């Protein structure tokens, strides 16, 4: 189980998914809906993946 915790101040949204690809597509959608990021770059996604994603047993 992969978990994403949004690092944006005053947001704090959490998502979980069985695999990382599913999670990151939810994250991309969240960035679009909540943070007006129309096109998340690989750099941004990589950054979020390393800072906001944890792997649960």
For Zn ion, the closer CB: 37 or 57: 37
Shortest gap between Cβ of 30 and Zn ion (angstroms)?
Answer: 6
> Which helix (H) or strand (E) segment is 53 a member of?
strand 53-55
For Zn ion, the closer CB: 1 or 29: 29
| 6, 47 Cβ separation under 8 angstroms | no
Q: Rounded to whole angstroms, how far apart are CA atoms 2 and 36? A: 24
Q: Which residues bind Zn ion (CB under 5 A)?
A: 6, 8, 11, 13, 34
Shortest gap between Cβ of 35 and Zn ion (angstroms)?
Answer: 6
């Amino acid at each position: 189980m992969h978990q994403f915790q949004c690092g944006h101040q005053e947001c704090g949204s959490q998502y979980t998914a069985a695999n990382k690809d599913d999670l990151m597509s939810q994250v991309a959608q969240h960035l679009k809906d909540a943070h007006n990021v129309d096109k998340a770059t690989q750099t941004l996604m990589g950054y979020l993946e390393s800072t906001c994603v944890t792997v649960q047993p």
